[in-house]
Amino acid sequence: MSTNHPLETALPPRFRRPSLFTCAIVLVFLALFIQGAMATNVTLERLLRGIVNLGHFLGRAFPPDLSNLDVLAWSMFETLNIAIVGVTIGIILSLPFALLAARNTAPTPWVRTITRFIVSTMRTIPDLIWALIFVVAVGLGPMAGVLAIIMDTIGFAARFFSERIEEVHPGPSEALSATGAGKLSVIGGAILPETLASMTATSLYSVEKALRSAVTLGLVGAGGIGVELAAAMRLFNFDRALTIILLILVVVIGFEQLSSQIRKRVI
């Protein structure tokens, strides 16, 4: 007589057999990975040579050159200005984009579709590409960096804003609508207050992201400390380059810590 419990013999399999589509995706991924690894020509010899060259760089970079620290500090301050101005304007412009892209606040489905396409386009184009475009449009300098960060911030923040707006509980909005409140009153009285904390956190993340972006945008002539870093590397002034890297590290980490403390108090 069998002593097996009926439930023990009816247990589902631990792993399901993958579908043909899943197998095809895995095979395509493996093929792309192998092809990419071969195309990048990653070899042990190159890695060892790279380690030696890195050692030469560090040997020439130490000690850091602090002779023009005031000039570098001003360039870093310019980078901070680019990030703050760009992300502030970008966040302000992200809100109407988000309201037009969210399912529960868009006036019509086609407006929502067009807005989401615009936001996706802004998010898809890298910030360096935006910087190159605006350098051609307005010339070298901080203005190109500010415009690039505005576009990048709208693409980043508007998406998360719209998703948070769509997650709002419909109860308060329906209650306001039942009293005769208009669309704008419902948005201002029910939707935005509930999403304020989440939007604040996203905005702070946008500032952190913009600060790192502003550093790299200078490499293509969009102003800030990136211009100094690019010049130092081209002229093989590795001690000056190390000073710039350390300055960037201190400012970025400091701002991330400040942003973290603000989020803890707001959220």
Q: Is residue 142 part of a domain?
A: yes
Q: Is residue 63 part of a domain?
A: no
Q: Is residue 216 part of a domain?
A: yes
pLDDT of residue 253: 86
- E strands, the chain, are none
pLDDT, tens digit, for every residue of 107-123?
888 998 999 999 998 88
pLDDT of residue 170: 72
* pLDDT range class, residue 94, cuts 50, 70, 90: very high
Q: Is residue 179 part of a domain?
A: yes
- Look at the alpha carbons of 70, 73, 79, 83 in this order and tell me if their dihedral is positive or negative: negative
Looking at every residue in the chain, the average pLDDT score rounds to 82
Query: CATH number of the domain that 173 lies in?
Result: 1.10.3720.10
Q: Is residue 44 part of a domain?
A: no
pLDDT of residue 42: 73
Q: Is residue 51 part of a domain?
A: no
- Looking at residue 141, the DSSP 8-state letter turns out to be S
pLDDT of residue 4: 53
The pLDDT of residue 6 is above 70: no
C-alpha 80/C-alpha 86 separation (Å) is 10
Q: Six-digit token pair at 149?
A: 């960060």
C-alpha 254/C-alpha 62 separation (Å) is 23
pLDDT of residue 3: 52
pLDDT of residue 139: 84
pLDDT of residue 53: 85
pLDDT of residue 93: 92
Q: Is residue 120 part of a domain?
A: yes
Domain of 184 in residue numbering reads as 73-266
The pLDDT of residue 168 is above 60: yes
Q: Is residue 3 part of a domain?
A: no
pLDDT, tens digit, for every residue of 176-226?
677 766 667 777 777 777 788 788 888 888 888 888 888 888 888 777 888
pLDDT of residue 15: 62
User: What is the b/e burial string over 194-213, where b = at least 16 CB atoms within 10 angstroms of the residue's CB?
Assistant: ebeebbebbbbbbbbbbbbb
Q: Six-digit token pair at 210?
A: 């913009």
What is the number of structural domains in the chain?
1
